Amino acid sequence: MARRGSVGTPYLIAGGLALALLVVAKRGAITKVTGTAAVAWRGGKPIGTIILKHIGNNQYLEASRAAAFLAMQAAAAKDGVTLVANSGFRGMAEQTVLYAQYVARAFTAPVVAKPGYSRHQVGEAVDIHIPPAGTAPDDPRRIMSKEFQWLSANAEKYGFKNDLKRTREAWHFSADGS
């Protein structure tokens, strides 16, 4: 027993170290493949770099918010409700284009925040597909949709809130609804 132990222990230690290194290497690789570093903006100023994670439909959120969204999406799926992200994190270039389009259509809904001021630029806000598409942002049919109804009952458990009175957008969810 003692002899087996004395021979086996170094191998066990070496094996453990190799496994630990593999885990670290894999984590690094995952971060590089699915996580993209991006500059976040708040109050018109860059506030640092965040790591983005894919949430489907070619959309991204800050990694911890992405994990919360994916958990919420899985819970909704169990209830037969499909949640699709139409807009997650926006870089400065994207927000600038969206704002220019908003100005060009004479500031009509949906409202777009000035570049540097959108919750989408912090990677914490997400626009979720709420049908029917093409209707007003707060159309009663959107409010009655199973997607909106499910989110109204469950989204806050995952840290997502819709403040319809404030934004008048059924699809916009963020930490405080703004």
Which stretches of the chain bind Zn ion, using CB under 5 A?
127, 172
Closer CB to Zn ion, residue 127 or residue 147?
127
Cα–Cα dist 177/141, whole Å: 20
Type and span of the H or E element at 61: strand 60-62
- From residue 78, how far is each of 71, 81, 150 by CA, in Å? 11, 7, 11
Residue closer to Zn ion, measured from CB, 20 or 123: 123
Backbone dihedral angles phi then psi of residue 23, each to the nearest 5 degrees: -60, -45
CB of 161 to Zn ion, least distance (A): 12
CB of 128: closest distance to Zn ion in angstroms?
A: 9
What span, in angstroms and rounded, lies between the C-alpha atoms of 175 and 178? 8
> At its nearest, how many Å lie between Zn ion and the CB of residue 117?
12
Query: At closest approach, how far in Å is the CB of 125 from Zn ion?
Result: 5
Q: Number of C-alpha atoms within 13 angstroms, CB side, residue 46?
A: 7
Q: Which is nearer to Zn ion, 54 or 168 (CB)?
A: 168
Closer by beta carbon to Zn ion, 31 or else 164: 164
Which residue in the shown chain puts its C-beta closest to Zn ion? 172
